[in-house]
Amino acid sequence: MTLTPRAVLIHRRTELQALLERHGTRGQAAFFLQTRGRRIEDVAARHHAVQAAIALVTAAIPADWRRGLVERADLPRFLFDPGDIVIAVGQDGLVANIARYLDGQIVIGINPEPDRNPGVLVPHPPLAAPALLAAAYPGGVHAEQRAMVEAITDDGQQLAALNEIFIGQPSHQTARYTLKLPDGHAEQQASSGLIVSTGTGATGWCRSAWLERHSSLALPAPTERRLTWFVREAWPSPATGTSLTEGDVASGQSLSITAESDQLVLFGDGIETDATPLTWGQTASIHLATRTLRLLR
């Protein structure tokens, strides 16, 4: 017997919910905000906008479909099925948080606050949910295949990300390592770390590094099978160089980092709490992931 589709709606707790958990009552939360020049009414309005979007999307799910509701913090403990249709209601970053846990499932991005969120990864209004769900099953033929980046350490640990992977010191102090390029060139370096980015990440942290150094490197498009990388604040010394500070990683190629500090970390999409350690002498290989994010347009 074939199971009906499962729609998994993912959201994050709102600022109002976080304030109430922290302060206990609405009055205490209002006082806390007031002393900082803010109004609880504004926070509450944003909360209601998100809740209204969740209600609209939930009502749009066909009655015979299975369904799940997941808060972002619970993602590491949630088991996705291969045929799930994933609905992200929130900011663009929520889709990036979800991507690492998926393998081919269709993702629908719903923007509950278009006046605050750019909508790069959550481009759709809540009212579009019925049409989007109809387009997502079966097939999702209009899904955009966004490239992802993956790191694999020499002891088998894996980390995937939609935007970028950062390699450096957990304290963001000087990281020491040997960088080896796909063409075999290598250099010992001391820096603030490296960013290895996809085309999706090229609109964020990676673009900031690109702009600061006035780089002529062409940044990849979101669906392009190419990565770009930048070394942050490379420091020259008798033992370390600064000649290899940016470049591309094409499909089938890898960039490798061998740690020469007590401990480096790798983390994806800015989530430092989910970091992979890289101890002295260990090597990590960073390359395009075989899987992609299937984002419904």
pLDDT digits (tens, 9 = 90+) for 118-166: 899 999 999 999 999 999 987 666 789 999 999 999 999 999 999 999 9
pLDDT per residue as tens digits for the range 112-128 = 999 998 899 999 999 99
Q: What is the largest CA-CA distance in the chain?
A: 68
User: Which pLDDT belongs to residue 139?
Assistant: 64
User: Which pLDDT belongs to residue 170?
Assistant: 87
User: Which pLDDT belongs to residue 141?
Assistant: 66
pLDDT per residue as tens digits for the range 180-201 = 999 999 999 999 999 999 999 9
Residue with tokens 């980092």: 257
* Three-class SS of the chain: CCCCCEEEEEECCCHHHHHHHHHCCHHHHHHHHHCCCCCHHHHHHHHHHHHHHHHHHHHHCCCCCEEEEEEHHHHHHCCCCCCCEEEEECCHHHHHHHHCCCCCCEEEEECCCCCCCCCCCCCECHHHHHHHHHHHCCCCCCEEEECCEEEEECCCCEEEECCEEEEECCCCCCEEEEEECCCCCEEEEEECCEEEECCCHHHCHHHHHHHHCCCCCCCCCCCCCEEEEEECCCCCCCCCCCCCCEEEEECCCCEEEEECCCEEEEEECCCHHHCEEEECCCEEEEEECCCCEEEEC
Average pLDDT value for residue range 248-277: 93
The CA-atom distances, in angstroms, between 114 and each of 8, 120, 204 are 22, 11, 18
pLDDT per residue as tens digits for the range 190-246 = 999 999 999 999 988 899 999 998 999 999 999 999 999 999 999 999 999 999 999
Which residues, other chains included, contact 39 with Cβ-Cβ below 8 Å and sequence gap of 6+? 30, 33
The CATH fold assigned to 149-289 is Tumour Suppressor Smad4 (2.60.200)
> From CA 266, how far away is CA 149, in angstroms rounded?
12
pLDDT per residue as tens digits for the range 52-92 = 999 999 999 999 999 999 999 999 899 999 999 999 999 99
User: Which pLDDT belongs to residue 140?
Assistant: 60
Residue with tokens 């498009």: 221
Global pTM value? 0.89
pLDDT surpassing 90 at residue 26 = yes
pLDDT surpassing 60 at residue 16 = yes
Please state, rounded to an integer, the average pLDDT across all residues of the chain. 93
User: What is the pLDDT confidence band of residue 4, given thresholds at 50, 70 and 90?
Assistant: confident
User: Which pLDDT belongs to residue 160?
Assistant: 95
User: Which pLDDT belongs to residue 142?
Assistant: 76
pLDDT surpassing 80 at residue 1 = no
Average pLDDT value for residue range 254-258: 97
* Packed helices 129-136 and 40-60: angle between N→C axes, nearest 10 degrees: 40
Residue-range domain boundaries for the chain: 6-141, 149-289
Sign of CA dihedral 83, 296, 11, 137: negative
